[in-house]
Amino acid sequence: MMLLDKCFIIAELSANHGGSLDIAKETIRAAKRAGADAIKLQTYTADTITMNSKQDYFKISQGTHWDGQYLYDLYKEAYLPWEWHEELFKTAKEEGLVCFSSPFDFTAVDFLETLSCPIYKIASFEITDIPLIEYVAKKGKPIIISTGIATIEDIELAIKTCKDAGNDDITILKCTSAYPAEPEDANILTIPDIMKRFNVKSGLSDHTLGIEAPVVSICVGGTVIEKHFILDKSIGGPDAHFSLDEVEFTQMVKAVRTAEKLLGHVDYELTDKKKKSREFSRSLFVNTNVKKGEKLTMENIRSIRPGYGLHPKYLSEILGKKFNVDIEKGTPLDFKHIKNPQSNN
């Protein structure tokens, strides 16, 4: 389902639905207008992702936007109702978008299978959930895994788990699990290292503010971009502060597509347009009116624009030779103007 000829751009709906199915559906439509290739959901409930406990273990206190909240309360606010999924998959299909999701437990996978989910995403904090990765991989769908909190060993184990389950369609996303992430923590050069080290596809799950990181990611070989998307930041919610709205996402997509054109491919061939432009290159011209028998010197020939005369590489070998005709100043120099041009006389 992912694109082969250009970067696959994913708009992540996440918690940016404001508790409204209509807002969620309009967000999908806006993602299409903004140029996304796909919309990604998250399939969990507060009970499938954590437990309702007020012990300190479950209270967020890591210097985040959500500090002071308990995990259960946060996820209860943020989750996307499962009864909306079918309608959202349908809306995405109508818009020509790929719709898929991040499941957070086996029941979510089973539910998404009833919707023919075409791709599965493993969230950063689930990369250590090997049983979940194995269960997802066995579905035989392309699998995308984020690495926000992962060690090299975590990544190796996740990839091995997929392959042992018979699934080689693996994309590993560089991700910084900070919300928002600072540019200096993005370390986008990890993307080509992931591709080389693990022999998989790679890209960026981006939490920085702005659009620069996604553009940079494709310049180092990234093939997937995932970015949180919100219809309007005034909707609020847990993820609004680091999500792009429609205007910003549109700008990002345009910048990425322009960067793809700029990157192009390795090319040393001269198109007709380039060949025409070579007329403005340097070449050897007669710089003064000269008579037959005069020697060629640095005074009577010059390397100048345009490019209708001899290549400047011949300058040293023709100096001291003699003109065999009278030539007017401003004439492109040619071997036919020179006596014995290829000899030492």
- The DSSP H or E segment spanning 145 is strand 143-146
Q: In the prediction, which pLDDT does 94 show?
A: 98
Looking at per-residue pLDDT, the higher value among 1 and 87 belongs to 87
pLDDT, mean of residues 124-137: 97
Of 312, 307, 301, residue with least CA distance to 338: 301
Asked whether residue 92 is domain-assigned, the answer is yes
Q: What's the chain's average pLDDT? A: 94
User: How far apart are alpha carbons 201 and 222 in whole angstroms?
Assistant: 8
99 Cβ neighbours under 8 A, 6+ residues apart: 28, 38, 39, 40, 41, 88, 89, 92, 93, 117, 118
Split at pLDDT 50, 70, 90, the class of 1 is low
Place of tokens 């985040």: 64
Is pLDDT above 60 for 158?
yes
Asked whether residue 132 is domain-assigned, the answer is yes
Residues 302 and 158 occupy one common structural domain: no
Note the Cα 122 to chain centre separation in Å: 19
User: How far apart are alpha carbons 98 and 185 in whole angstroms?
Assistant: 30
pLDDT, mean of residues 286-312: 97
Is pLDDT above 80 for 63?
no
Q: Is 150 exposed, middle or buried (0-12, 13-18, 19+ CB in 10 A)?
A: buried
pLDDT, mean of residues 66-81: 86
Residues 105 and 211 occupy one common structural domain: yes
Asked whether residue 204 is domain-assigned, the answer is yes
User: 301: domain CATH number?
Assistant: 3.90.1210.10
Give this prediction's pTM. 0.88
* 65-69, 134-138, 148-152: which is most confident: 134-138
Is pLDDT above 60 for 332?
yes
Q: In this structure, are strands 224-228 and 8-12 parallel, antiparallel, or unpaired? A: parallel
Angle (nearest 5°) at CA 71 between 16 and 180 = 50
Tokens of 284: 């050897």
Main-chain dihedrals φ then ψ at residue 290, nearest 5 degrees: -125, 155
Split at pLDDT 50, 70, 90, the class of 345 is very low
Asked whether residue 195 is domain-assigned, the answer is yes
Domain span at 195: 8-44+79-263
Helices marked H in 70-205 — which ranges? Answer: 71-78, 82-95, 106-114, 130-137, 152-164, 190-198
Is pLDDT above 90 for 163?
yes
Looking at per-residue pLDDT, the higher value among 4 and 37 belongs to 37
Q: 82-91 pLDDT, tens per residue?
A: 999 999 999 9
Max intra-chain CA distance, the chain: 102
Q: In the prediction, which pLDDT does 178 show?
A: 84
Residues 257 and 297 occupy one common structural domain: no
Q: In the prediction, which pLDDT does 87 show?
A: 98
Is pLDDT above 70 for 290?
yes
Is pLDDT above 90 for 3?
no
Is pLDDT above 70 for 343?
no
Measure the CA dihedral 56/62/64/66, to 10°: 0
79 Cβ neighbours under 8 A, 6+ residues apart: 15, 42, 44, 45, 46, 49
Q: 18-61 pLDDT, tens per residue?
A: 999 999 999 999 999 999 999 999 999 999 999 999 998 888 87
Place of tokens 């007709």: 272
Residues 95 and 152 occupy one common structural domain: yes
Of 39, 19, 20, residue with least CA distance to 29: 39
Q: In the prediction, which pLDDT does 78 show?
A: 83
User: How far apart are alpha carbons 141 and 281 in whole angstroms?
Assistant: 54
Tokens of 197: 């080290």
Residues 138 and 278 occupy one common structural domain: no
- The DSSP H or E segment spanning 21 is helix 21-34
Looking at per-residue pLDDT, the higher value among 92 and 236 belongs to 92
Percent of the chain at pLDDT > 90 equals 83
Overall size of the chain counted in residues = 345
232 Cβ neighbours under 8 A, 6+ residues apart: 245
pLDDT, mean of residues 230-254: 93
Q: In the prediction, which pLDDT does 41 show?
A: 98
Is pLDDT above 80 for 150?
yes
Asked whether residue 138 is domain-assigned, the answer is yes
Residues 134 and 160 occupy one common structural domain: yes
Q: How many domains does the chain have?
A: 2
Question: Among 64-68, 241-245, 284-288, whose mean pLDDT is lowest?
Answer: 64-68
Residues 91 and 168 occupy one common structural domain: yes
pLDDT, mean of residues 149-155: 96
Half-sphere exposure at residue 251, Cβ-oriented, CA atoms within 13 angstroms: 9
Residues 95 and 175 occupy one common structural domain: yes
pLDDT, mean of residues 284-303: 97
Place of tokens 């959901």: 41
pLDDT, mean of residues 193-213: 97
Asked whether residue 63 is domain-assigned, the answer is no
Is pLDDT above 60 for 234?
yes
Asked whether residue 305 is domain-assigned, the answer is yes
